[in-house]
Structure 1
Amino acid sequence: MQRKSGLLKAMALVLSLALPTVLVVSAADARVGGGFSSGSRGSRTFSAPPSTSTAPSTASPFNRTLTQPGYNGSSGFNSPARGGFFNRGGMLGGLAAGFLGAGLLGMLFGGGLFSGLSGFGSILGLILQIMLIVFLARMAMAWWQRRNQPAYAGTTPPPGGQSFGSGMGFGGFGGSNAPPLEIQPTDYEAFERLLGDIQAAWSNEDVGRLRLMTTPEMASYFERDLEQNQARGVVNKVSATKLLQGDLAEAWREGDTDYATVALKFSLVDKTVERATGRLVEGSDQPQQVTEIWTFSRHPGSNWQLSAIQQAN
């Protein structure tokens, strides 16, 4: 009975830790980007963009990115590369390495992390091991990303950003210093147009259009999300997208690639319906407001493309 009671307490503890992560993943399956932070911002992928009046809070670190820590933009990866999480000192790295090492040895010898439990708890112990290791791995990666944030290169971007909004023209150019890359009114118009066009292409499941307006990395994420919707038998319908306010967080150049990160507050009707019957599964017909940080990239002679979406905390 004491062993069973200990097992139940351990299960309750692990589930209480893992439940917020599960809820975030299950709820992040609507609108373009699925509520995740995805993509790349060149050498600034692991650096949080400056806050603006539109998004005064910080941006969430990337859940999905192809950029590796140590990438410095114009010249590729730094050399030597920074050590991995378990190569670093500190209490967290030592505890995590010791915990996982003990668990692996336990599994090799038939025990595992919960080797003290009897046969009744062996299967549940294995499930708890997996859930706990996944949770700790996510926490470790978030800590590692914060430790590996590279310093900004070039001129410090203006803290106030540059403001723009739908139907109100461009104005309120704030900040005491000019940004490293000058963004013109036509660029802001392109950002606003891409916001609506990408949402529309997503709603129509038009993969070809999404590939034209986004980087290959972002297009791959969108295609994967659309495939998951198809597997679930649902379709996410987004309409009435309207930009309410926008701020330039920073703009810079790496080699021959221009980058611009903007905070966007917009409204949209976001609902997920059953593909076969049209029955509402998630969302509603009522407009909702969303604030996200979008990064656009551009090569010489080409148009702006969406390079990253980050959620505002």
Structure 2
Amino acid sequence: MNFRQRAFGLVQALALVLSLAMPLVVVASSADARVGGGVSSGSRGSRTFSAPPSTSTAPNTAQPFNRTATQPGSPGFGTQGGGFFNRPGMGLFGGLAAGFLGAGLFGMLFGHGLFGGIGGFSSILGLILQIAVIVFLVRFAMSWWQRRHEMGAAYAGGPSPLSAQASYGSGFGFGSGSAPLQIVGADYEAFERLLGETQAAYSNEDVARLRTLATPEMVSYFTRDLDENRSRNIVNKVSGTKLLQGDLAEAWREGDTDYASVAMRYSLVDTFLDRGTGRVVEGNGQPEEVTEVWTFTRPRGGNWILSAIQQTS
């Protein structure tokens, strides 16, 4: 491969990274509270753009995603197992994009200017040139992507809700099922454990632990929220997470990857503390209830991890 070909491949990779980053940076970056910042974030494979069925725990429709790496027509993008970055043969292209996302460098990249280290771009003309370069690369990436991966949108609706409700364990019931993937008792135990452990890791700002509990896409959002808290000199402390009620919205399989969307109503104590003094700046120290739809994913035979959180209307 000659230098020109390598340079062209690098430009393609950078263009796709920019096309993914631009929709994300327009989202409000300030953290609301708790893990996920109180917004809808993540990916649900090919069902990212279809709402999970309502359940008795979450009778209202789940909100569309405010933050997602999934592009329409690219099933499984941004998730583990069937994810785009894990596809064989991606080489530099996949490695560069995954590095930007997994390390949470979007905030650094755009917080200091795309070409902040290049002299001459500090002028007004430099700013215009930056904008022109970004627009060109984004348009080029989108055109190239459509040509190479043109396909119909792979949206899938949820199955019909079951008429009967069966209780399970500590608050979980069965909402709507989805053959052929069967969710059993051990799965519900894993979902409840991930709820508590993810909240605890976020409260402790333990990014290394979060990487074992969630997809790289979700970790990138968590990292950005934590960075925002640091810029405000606050820390979000979450304690007393307790599942009150939960049921399965849908479960399905895409290739070798399993998905399960679960409605969960839980309580927690959510406060913001001054990072220096430990003084409470937001929150009254009293438990509050939250209802969200969490989607989990796993490679077939592997462990569940968190791939999306959706707020309910």
- How does 1:9-28 map onto structure 2 within 5 Å? 25=28, 28=31
Change (3 A) 1:75 1:67: closer
Q: Residue 292 of structure 1 corresponds to which residue in structure 2?
A: 292
**Pair 1:167-2:151 in alignment:** no
Change (3 A) 1:40 1:174: closer
Query: Identity rate of aligned residues, in percent?
Result: 65
**Pair 1:156-2:149 in alignment:** no
Q: Aligned to 2:33, which of 30, 35, 53?
A: 30
Q: Residue 184 of structure 1 corresponds to which residue in structure 2?
A: 184
Q: Residue 63 of structure 1 corresponds to which residue in structure 2?
A: 66
**1:71 CA displacement:** 2.0
Change (3 A) 1:150 1:300: closer
- How does 1:1-313 map onto structure 2 within 5 Å? 25=28, 28-73=31-76, 150-152=154-156, 156-159=159-162, 167=170, 172-173=173-174, 179-313=179-313
* Alpha carbons 1:161, 1:250 under 8 Å: kept: no
Cα RMSD of the aligned pairs, angstroms, is 2.6
Q: Which has the higher relative contact order, 1 or 2, with Cα contacts under 8 A spaced 6 or more apart?
A: 2
| Residues in 2 aligned to 1:51 and 1:157: alpha-carbon distance in whole angstroms | 10
Change (3 A) 1:208 1:181: same
| Residues in 2 aligned to 1:160 and 1:63: alpha-carbon distance in whole angstroms | 32
| Residues in 1 aligned to 2:211 and 2:260: alpha-carbon distance in whole angstroms | 19
| Residues in 2 aligned to 1:211 and 1:300: alpha-carbon distance in whole angstroms | 19
| Residues in 1 aligned to 2:69 and 2:308: alpha-carbon distance in whole angstroms | 11
The amino acid that maps onto 2:287 is P
* Alpha carbons 1:37, 1:60 under 8 Å: kept: yes
| Residues in 1 aligned to 2:175 and 2:170: alpha-carbon distance in whole angstroms | 19
**1:151 CA displacement:** 3.9
**1:159 CA displacement:** 4.8
**1:279 CA displacement:** 1.5
Structure 2 unaligned regions, length at least 5: 1-26, 77-81, 85-151
The amino acid that maps onto 1:62 is F
Structure 1 unaligned regions, length at least 5: 1-23, 77-147
| Residues in 2 aligned to 1:26 and 1:286: alpha-carbon distance in whole angstroms | 26
| Residues in 2 aligned to 1:161 and 1:303: alpha-carbon distance in whole angstroms | 29
Secondary structure at 1:49 match in 2:
coil
| Residues in 2 aligned to 1:161 and 1:207: alpha-carbon distance in whole angstroms | 40
Secondary structure at 1:295 match in 2:
strand
Change (3 A) 1:41 1:58: same
* Alpha carbons 1:52, 1:160 under 8 Å: kept: no
The number of equivalent residue pairs is: 215
- Normalising by structure 1, we get a TM-score of 0.63
1:141-192 per-position Cα deviation (integer Å, ceiling 9, x unaligned): xxxxxxx975427x82535696656635x6x5455x7633100100000000
| Residues in 1 aligned to 2:300 and 2:188: alpha-carbon distance in whole angstroms | 18
